[in-house]
Amino acid sequence: MQSYKNKYAVILGGSSGLGLATAQKLAQEGMHLIIVHRSRRSVMATFEENVTAMQQNGANVLTFNTDALHPQKREQVITELLEKIGKHQVKAIIHSVARGNLKPMYSQEGAVLSNEDFKLTLDAMAVNYYDWVSAFAKAELCTPNARAIAFTSEGSSRAWSQYGAVAAAKAALESISRGIALEFAPVGITSNCILAGVTDTESLRLIPGSELMKEKSLERNPYGRLTLPEDVGNAVYLLMRDEAAWINGAVIPVDGGEHIR
């Protein structure tokens, strides 16, 4: 039997977008879930419906409506997990936190990215991945041969206006993933990034000029459609399987081939 069955996947940022689609796929394939999210009241009803649906699939679902960036809150989650599920039950740590500041680097008049904007964005979208993996490893929550997975984008190697801080964070995230791939090998945690194509999520819609990004993606994509959250959930699932044990330190595009044009 595949070793991911009946094990837990922690999804940081699991209430919508790529994180939610991942949760749904993994539940469907027999995993239990720990969802760390920060949801406004207005979306809680929808989120809870989603959780119920996963539970009806047979999944245990633990949810934490808390700030994934806050060190003490992370410690609370870990303490609670040790009580509720015990050690060595977490097969996967999936980082889907999208909290970055979008501003130009230069403008004659308006606001530009500040040092603080970079700090917050780098912390939320890059260093935070390490913080969670490190804390889980230290608490011995992970199974042997566990998976750490983070979501990156083409922004890691390109420059787009307003996107400077997020781009730097994505580049740092991929580097941190390589570091985890190397340094957590002794405890058996692999780390990989999934580079999703342009996906029509709420996070995307917050980016100024996202309509144009979508248009260009449709034009570039060999299959003429945008990436769906399910495409990404599917790829995460592949990495759960035992056959993926030797994939480590990689950045895997999941975009129908968009990145090659």
Taking CB under 8 A as the binding criterion, the range among 9-17, 40-48, 183-191, 203-211 that sits at the site for a copy of itself is 183-191
Helix and strand totals (H; E) in the chain: 9, 7
Task: Please count the residues of this chain forming the interface with a copy of itself, following the rule CB under 8 A.
Answer: 74
Phi, psi of 141 (to 5 degrees): -75, -25
Alpha-carbon gap, residue 63 to 192, rounded angstroms = 24
Taking CB under 8 A as the binding criterion, the range among 33-41, 45-53, 57-65, 108-116 that sits at the site for a copy of itself is 108-116
Among positions 46, 119, 202, 208, the unique one binding a copy of itself when judged by CB under 8 A: 119
Alpha-carbon gap, residue 100 to 217, rounded angstroms = 21
When asked if residue 190 is in the footprint of a copy of itself (CB under 8 A), the reply is: yes
Residues 36 and 68 sit within 8 Å (Cβ to Cβ): yes
Minimum Å gap between C-beta 116 and a copy of itself is 10
Instruction: Note the residue count of the chain.
Output: 261
Alpha-carbon gap, residue 145 to 197, rounded angstroms = 28
- DSSP letter at 97 equals -
Among positions 26, 93, 146, 167, the unique one binding a copy of itself when judged by CB under 8 A: 167
Among positions 15, 22, 156, 217, the unique one binding a copy of itself when judged by CB under 8 A: 156
- DSSP letter at 31 equals -
Residues 200-239 that bind a copy of itself (CB under 8 A): 222-223, 227-228, 231, 234-235, 237-238
Among residues 63 and 214, whose Cβ is nearest to a copy of itself?
214
Minimum Å gap between C-beta 67 and a copy of itself is 14
